[in-house]
A and B are shown apart, each in its own frame.
Chain A
Amino acid sequence: MATVTAPARAPVGQAEGTGARAMRYLRGNGLLILGIAFIVLYCLFPFYWMIVSSLKVEPEIFQTGLIPRSPTMENYRAVFTQQRFHLALRNSLIVAGTTTVIALAVGCFAAYALARLRFRGKFLVLGAILSIAMFPPIALLTPIFELATRLGWIDTYQAMIIPYISFTLPLTVWILTSFFAEMPWELEQAAKVDGATPGQAFRKVIIPLAAPGVFTTAILAFIYAWNEYMIALAVTQTIDRKPVTVAIATFTGSSQFQQPFGTIMAAGVLVTIPLVIMVLLFQRRIVAGLTAGGVKG
């Protein structure tokens, strides 16, 4: 992946003006540049539009200017005052965070076994775990809802955390296994030969080696839990327990029947920005984790 061959059209050592060279580059790569521009526009324009809309209020929001004429933070204020969105953010942090911790704490043992140990039926185990990650959550929803109703678990964190484990745990095992399988475990042996105790070898060699993979897996599991909508929609009722996805979708306007898109966009930006920052910071590792785990869209 890191090996990148240079383009085959190296100029033959002529002194050209930068302008001419740029022209030439453009001619040779015109299509490519167009393609890149297309990708960036395709991916980012709707996101840009979300940000722009979040800065507009009525009546400007009903016009389609690409740059807000009188940008205002009014929508962001409404997100926290009218909609009390900080509660939803807190709920999502608690639910996604707890889910991630449980999935990692349990899954890392399984991943270690799958990546490092030899035993029969490994292929079967991996296959089973992968297919569980692909189960449609709707098949889990009715019994979860019914049980939550019986146990008085409607509008509680556990009614989300428990079902979320059903998809974060298999995902965690799957991605961690691929990270662990790539790790240079020989170094542990080498450290022991150099006189380190097993504890030291684990602390000084294995943990630093494994940390990035574990961290990336944690981010991915967190994002999947953070983004869940259906189960949360069914089991939560109040803003004291609703996660961000459900809260945004049930935002209400100042008058009785309004769907306040400006405020919704502002909240959308707030929910997405942390994820985008994480993605930008760790893009290389996330891509590695995703292509290994390539499970969910």
Chain B
Amino acid sequence: MARSRVKVGLVALAAMLTLTACGQGGGGGGGGGEETLANGKTGPITYVTGKDTSGWVQPTIDKWNAAHPNEKVTLIELPESANDQRNQMVTTLQAKSDRYGILYTDVVWTAEFAKSGWLEEIPKDQIPEFSGMLKGPVDSVTFEGKTWAVPAASDGGMLYYRKDILDKEGKQPPKTWDELATMAKEIAPKYNMAGYSGQFFKYEGLTVNAMEAIWGAGGEALAEDGTKVVVDSPEARKGIDTLVNGFKQGWIPKEAITYKEEESRRAFQQGKLLFLRNWPYVYALASKPGKESAVAGKFAVAKLPGPSALGGHNHAISKFTKNKKTALEFIKFLTAPEQQRTRLEKSVAPVSGELYDDPAFKKQFPFLPVLKESIDTAKNRPITPYYNDVHLAIEEAVYPALQGTTSTDQAIKDLAGKLQEAIQG
């Protein structure tokens, strides 16, 4: 009697295994997959973004909702870390869930999402603002010749430097990495501070910093179409070597190996650094007088010695959402000049070129011209659907070299091997 019951249980278990194994995909939200953008409907939709620290998103949505009571937009806030945001978007899109409507994606995810078939193609001609946008952001939404998103916000790295000290030394901010290294080596010790820091912890910030070093020396990781590894070159080696030597020679402080954006900002604000590579958000914080910043009024920004990695975000439409027409309309609304302006007021860098030249804004944000130059000359991190694997490969290969546990040559060799594996999927 007992045995037959066990048998029944086993059969049920086997049935379950195969049942779920056969059922292909699509449990999720379902239903939304049929609608395309061309025959899109109107109605409520969700707007999915990372945690908004600028305080711009919700009021802007409220403004839209007041004017469009039947096409209400609901905000879904994801965690702050870019990695977590990507994980959640991937998880949800993989499930073909209709929970996510408009996606506020990092510029580096667009290719992956498009290749996965998760995005609606954007009819470029319907969005006039495209013509006035900076080139880098426009490139970032283009993959295999099609447009998959609308640039929403841009970002570029800048070189923060201690103007008071450089003035005293009668120097201009460095124009090349070699100059930066020399100044960091020679001037900083006189003032009992460290020379330079970027973000060197093992996370995506390291990819940004490593790529900038490689570009600064004229190297590249992947060839234009992202299908060929070209990192094993003297230029790339020289770029990585600059950072490796920085640690070896001490003009990059050893604790910088643990720095992400915040740690490096803090070190700069405490007056411990002569040069800092960071994003525009540091400017306002470091300018606060009083206890919090020891460098208020003593620093300025310049363009990085080489090209910056392009930061920023795009607006994309999920393939699985309902009410795609509303989605596109809302993106148009967000892209319109008025919204770009109110957004810049909250210090988020816009994608439209002319705002950077606006005198009022220039006065409010003295770094705008430098930022524009940075974005204008910025390069896209490799545009490839395998970006996630690519950046992990870069971090895995470069980090040990900065720590001094592997040589630069070894790092480059590892990097080439890992990149090759990454772009093969």
**Would you give the shortest CB distance from B265 to chain A, in whole angstroms?**
8
The contact of A250 among B20, B84, B95, by CB within 8 Å, is B84
Does A238 have its Cβ within 8 Å of any Cβ on chain B?
yes
Is A255 an interface residue when CB atoms closer than 8 A count as contact?
yes
**Which residues does chain B contribute within 8 Å of A255, judged by CB atoms?**
53, 262, 281, 285
Complex contacts, A256 vs chain B, CB 8 Å: 53, 80, 261, 279, 281
Of B76, B79, B281, the contact of A252 (CB 8 Å cutoff)? B79
Question: Contact between A152 and B95 (Cβ–Cβ < 8 Å)?
Answer: yes
Task: Provide the bound-state CA to CA distance between A253 and B266, in Å.
Answer: 14
Closest to B29 in A: A152
Most chain B CB within a 10 A radius of its CB, from A58, A147, A149, A238: A149
Q: Give A255 to B263 CA distance when docked, in angstroms.
A: 12
Chain B 61-99 near chain A by CB (<8 Å), digits 1 or 0: 000000000000000111111001000100110110100
What's the nearest-Cβ distance from chain B to residue A152, in Å?
4
Contact A254 B53 (CB under 8 A): yes
Does residue B292 face the partner (Cβ distance < 8 Å to A)? Answer: yes
A257 close to chain B: CB less than 8 A:
yes
Q: 1/0 per position for A231-253, CB-CB distance to B under 8 A? A: 00000011000000000001011
Q: Do residues B291 and A259 form an inter-chain contact, with CB atoms below 8 A?
A: no
Which B residues between 231 and 279 are near A, CB-CB below 8 angstroms? 260-262, 265, 279
Also in contact, A259 and B262, with CB within 8 A (given A154-B91, A252-B79): yes
Q: B329 → chain A, closest Cβ, in Å? A: 25
Q: Measured between alpha carbons, how far is A237 from B97 in the docked complex, in Å?
A: 14
By a CB distance below 8 angstroms, the chain B residues around A59 are: 291-292
- Expressed in whole angstroms, the Cα–Cα distance for A15 and B97 within the complex equals 83
Contact of B95 among A58, A149, A254 (CB under 8 A): A149
List A contacts of B92 (CB < 8 A): 154, 237
Question: Is there a chain A Cβ closer than 8 Å to B23's Cβ?
Answer: yes
**Whole-angstrom distance between the alpha carbons of A151 and B20 in the complex?**
10
- Given contacts A149-B94, A150-B20, A237 and B88 within 8 Å (CB-CB): yes
Chain A 252-284, CB-CB to B under 8 Å as 1, else 0, gives: 111111110000000000000000000000000
When chains A and B are docked, how far (Å) is the Cα of A259 from the Cα of B153?
A: 23
Minimum distance in angstroms from B132 CB to a CB of chain A: 26
Contacts of A254 in B (CB 8 A): 53
State how many angstroms separate the Cβ of B80 from the closest Cβ of chain A.
4
Distance, CA A252 to CA B26, complexed state (A): 33
The answer to whether A250 touches B81 (Cβ under 8 A) is yes
The answer to whether the Cβ of B170 comes within 8 Å of any Cβ in the partner chain is no
Contact B95 A258 (CB under 8 A): no
Residue B51 lies at the interface, judged by CB distance under 8 Å to chain A: yes
Q: Are B91 and A237 touching (Cβ within 8 A)?
A: yes
Interface residue? B25 (CB, 8 A): yes
Q: Report the Cα distance A19→B325, complex, angstroms.
A: 87
Contact A152 B28 (CB under 8 A): yes
With a CB–CB cut-off of 8 A, which chain A residues contact B292?
58-59
**CB-nearest residue of chain A relative to B260?**
A257
Is the CB–CB distance between B78 and A252 below 8 Å? no
> How many contacts between A and B, using CB within 8 angstroms?
61
Decide if B91 touches A149 in the complex (CB within 8 Å): yes
B284: nearest residue on chain A (CB-CB)? A255
CA–CA, A151 and B19, complex, Å: 13
B261 proximity list for chain A (CB < 8 A): 256-257
Interface assignment of B27: CB less than 8 Å from any CB of chain A: yes
CB distance from B25 to the nearest CB of A (A): 7
Partner of B51 from the list A151, A152, A252 (CB cut-off 8 Å) is A252
- How far does the Cβ of B49 sit from chain A's closest Cβ, in whole Å? 12
Q: How far is the CA of A154 from the CA of B80 in the complex (A)?
A: 19
Complexed CA–CA distance, A238 and B46 (Å): 14
Q: Given the interface contacts A58-B292, A237-B88, A259-B262, does A150 sit within 8 Å of B81 by beta carbon?
A: no
> In the complex the two chains form, what is the Cα distance from A147 to B19 in whole Å?
12
Chain B: minimal CB distance from A193 (Å): 34
Chain A's closest residue to B270 (CB) is A62
CB-based nearest B residue for A246: B79
Contact of A154 among B84, B95, B260 (CB under 8 A): B95
Chain B residues within an 8 Å CB radius of A150: 20, 23, 25-28, 95
Chain B positions 83 through 119: 1 when the CB is less than 8 Å from some CB of chain A, otherwise 0: 0100010011011010000000000000000000000
Instruction: Note all chain A residues with C-beta closer than 8 A to B260.
Output: 257
With A and B bound together, what is the CA distance between A154 and B23 in angstroms?
Answer: 18
Measured between beta carbons, the chain A residues less than 8 angstroms from B28 are: 149-152
Q: How far is the CB of A70 from chain B (nearest CB, A)?
A: 13
Tell me the nearest residue of chain B to A239, going by C-beta.
B77
CB distance from B196 to the nearest CB of A (A): 19
**Pair A151/B262 contact, Cβ less than 8 Å:** no
Smallest Cβ-Cβ distance to B89: which chain A residue = A237
How far does the Cβ of A54 sit from chain B's closest Cβ, in whole Å? Answer: 19
Task: Specify which chain A residues have a CB less than 8 angstroms from the CB of B27 in the assembled complex.
Answer: 149-152
Q: How far is the CA of A237 from the CA of B46 in the complex (A)?
A: 15
User: Is the beta-carbon distance between B51 and A258 smaller than 8 angstroms?
Assistant: no
> Using Cβ atoms and an 8 Å threshold, which residues of chain A touch B262?
253, 255, 257-259
- Quick check: A237 and B285 within 8 Å, CB to CB? no
- Inter-chain contacts of B84 with A (CB < 8 A): 250
Please, how many angstroms separate the alpha-carbon atoms of A151 and B95 in the complex?
Answer: 8
What's the Cα separation between A258 and B80 when bound, in Å? 9
Name the CB-closest residue of A to B264: A257
Top 10 closest pairs, chain A to chain B, by CB: A257-B261, A252-B80, A150-B27, A152-B28, A149-B95, A257-B262, A151-B27, A237-B88, A250-B79, A258-B262
**B→A interface (CB under 8 Å):** 20, 23, 25-30, 51, 53, 76-81, 84, 88, 91-92, 94-95, 97, 260-262, 265, 279, 281, 285, 291-292
Can you report 5 residue pairs joining A to B where beta carbons are below 8 Å apart?
A150-B26, A150-B95, A154-B97, A237-B88, A250-B84
Residues of A within 8 A of B (CB): 58-59, 147, 149-152, 154, 237-238, 250, 252-259
